[in-house]
């Protein structure tokens, strides 16, 4: 008798089987999840998370250096920033922050070089883990390691990912600002539905920018043989999910922002968790894209004829001719044996023929002869 747990599990499996047959999108998600588990994508995402979190320090130095170079070229903007810091944080703390900003502006070149070296060094390690993981997702194995070729490929991938991310941010921020200005010039604030349009437009632009990022992530990093049009559905899927994760992250920061302790420790822990969730989603998007019906059909081998016969096992060939004598030696040996046989036969045949003739003559005695008449002396003379 089965237990209630077993019956419930069987019923759940049957329901899932029927729903998968009725809903193709659910079947696709299940197959993508099975591929995600089979390639151990969670472990690979953890490796990428480690290096991405380490890269935050040099990225911060690089941003500070860029801000310092901008402030160095505009002394009026620098004075306004220092005054704003002193007004926001009065007392010795504000003066200390102002001195720190001044030092950062003066050392912007040094900070920029250190940040750039750190971004390249740690970024190459992160791209190496990401590339190996994507290769395993798409092909089931990683390519053989080649140090120089892999570093060059990772550098190109890192540069392309940076360009795609910059274009995504520029498209999201710049296009949203331009759209707001255009809507303000047209004075359509009081038109019904304007509120929905003003809220939906930034989301649409953000999805478009994230699509560029995921196109490079799916096509440029692993070097798949499929075109951008074939991986575009996966890029759209990843862009929508990425925007949802950004929304969840912003809500989390808004929740812990009211408490100083929670914002200090919870912000750091939440950042690590959010980076890990994003890295996992990257790999799941790759699995979802790799299990698209069009891509699976393109990956399946097309038979071009009847199946080839099963090859016979290799059998060691033995040259039997090498074990016997050479043809010339064999002919000479046979010729010599024939000559000896001829000589022997020439000598023995006359003797045997003569003996038989004597015996025949000795036995031929006429009738009525006395006994012993046919016997001659022996041995014959």
Range of the domain at 99: 39-142
Specify the DSSP class assigned to residue 257: T
Given a cut of 50, is residue 271 above it in pLDDT?
A: yes
Question: Based on the domain organization, do 117 and 166 belong to the same domain?
Answer: no
Max alpha carbon distance in the chain (Å)? 175
- CA distance linking residue 242 with residue 290, whole number of Å: 18
Q: What is the pLDDT of residue 305?
A: 46
Cβ atoms of 29 and 103 closer than 8 Å: no
Looking at the domain assignment, is residue 304 inside a domain? Answer: no
Question: Based on the domain organization, do 176 and 280 belong to the same domain?
Answer: yes
63-104 tens-digit pLDDT: 878 888 887 777 787 777 777 777 766 667 667 777 777 777
For the ranges 81-95, 141-155, 304-318, 320-334, which has the lowest average pLDDT?
304-318
Looking at the domain assignment, is residue 18 inside a domain? Answer: no
Looking at the domain assignment, is residue 43 inside a domain? Answer: yes
- CA distance linking residue 222 with residue 210, whole number of Å: 18
3-state class of 39 per DSSP? coil
* DSSP assignments along 207-221, one per residue: HHHHHHHHHIIIIIT
Question: Based on the domain organization, do 156 and 84 belong to the same domain?
Answer: no
Question: Based on the domain organization, do 78 and 188 belong to the same domain?
Answer: no
Looking at the domain assignment, is residue 235 inside a domain? Answer: yes
Burial grade of 277 (CB within 10 A; 0-12, 13-18, 19 or more) = middle
Q: Using the 3D structure, point to which of 241, 263, 298 is the last residue of a domain.
A: 298
Confidence category of residue 372, pLDDT binned at 50, 70, 90: low
Question: Based on the domain organization, do 185 and 277 belong to the same domain?
Answer: yes
Residues in the chain: 381
* Torsion sign, CA atoms 84, 85, 86, 87: positive
Domain count, the chain: 2
- CA distance linking residue 238 with residue 235, whole number of Å: 5
- CA distance linking residue 149 with residue 50, whole number of Å: 23
Structure token digits, residue 344: 């022997």
Rounded to two decimals, what is the model's pTM? 0.67
Q: Using the 3D structure, point to which of 121, 142, 163 is the last residue of a domain.
A: 142
Looking at the domain assignment, is residue 52 inside a domain? Answer: yes
Structure token digits, residue 273: 């968790």
Helices 267-290/228-256 angle, 10° precision: 160
Confidence category of residue 42, pLDDT binned at 50, 70, 90: very high
Mean pLDDT of the chain: 76
């Amino acid at each position: 008798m089965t237990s209630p747990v077993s019956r419930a599990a069987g019923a759940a499996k049957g329901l899932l089987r029927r729903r998968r047959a009725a809903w193709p999108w659910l079947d696709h998600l299940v197959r993508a999840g099975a591929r995600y588990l089979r390639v151990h994508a969670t472990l690979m995402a953890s490796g990428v998370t480690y290096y991405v979190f380490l890269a935050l320090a040099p990225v911060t130095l690089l941003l500070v250096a860029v801000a310092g170079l901008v402030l160095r070229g505009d002394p009026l903007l620098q004075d306004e920033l220092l005054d704003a810091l002193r007004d926001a944080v009065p007392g010795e703390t504000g003066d200390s922050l102002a001195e720190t900003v001044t030092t950062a502006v003066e050392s912007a070149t040094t900070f920029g070089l250190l940040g750039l070296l750190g971004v390249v060094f740690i970024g190459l390690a992160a791209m190496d883990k990401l590339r190996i993981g994507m290769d395993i997702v798409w092909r089931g194995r990683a390519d053989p390691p080649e140090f120089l070729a892999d570093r060059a490929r990772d550098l190109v991938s890192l540069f392309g990912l940076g360009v795609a991310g910059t274009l995504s941010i520029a498209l999201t921020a710049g296009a949203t600002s331009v759209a707001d200005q255009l809507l303000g010039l047209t004075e359509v604030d009081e038109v019904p539905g304007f509120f929905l349009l003003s809220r939906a437009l930034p989301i649409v632009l953000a999805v478009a920018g994230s699509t560029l990022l995921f196109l490079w992530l799916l096509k440029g990093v692993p070097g798949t043989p499929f075109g951008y049009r074939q991986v575009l559905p996966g890029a759209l899927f990843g862009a929508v999910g990425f925007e949802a994760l950004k929304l969840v992250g912003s809500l989390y920061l808004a929740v812990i922002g009211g408490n100083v302790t929670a914002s200090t420790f919870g912000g750091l822990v939440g950042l690590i968790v959010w980076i890990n969730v994003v890295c996992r989603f990257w790999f799941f998007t790759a699995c979802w894209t790799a299990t698209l019906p069009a891509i699976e059909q393109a990956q399946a081998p097309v038979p071009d004829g009847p199946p080839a016969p099963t090859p016979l096992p290799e059998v060691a060939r033995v040259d039997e001719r090498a074990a016997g004598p050479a043809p010339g030696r064999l002919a000479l040996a046979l010729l010599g044996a024939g000559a000896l046989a001829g000589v022997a036969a020439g000598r023995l045949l006359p003797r045997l023929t003569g003996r038989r003739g004597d015996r025949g003559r000795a036995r031929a005695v006429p009738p009525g002869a006395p006994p012993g008449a046919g016997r001659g002396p022996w041995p014959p003379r």
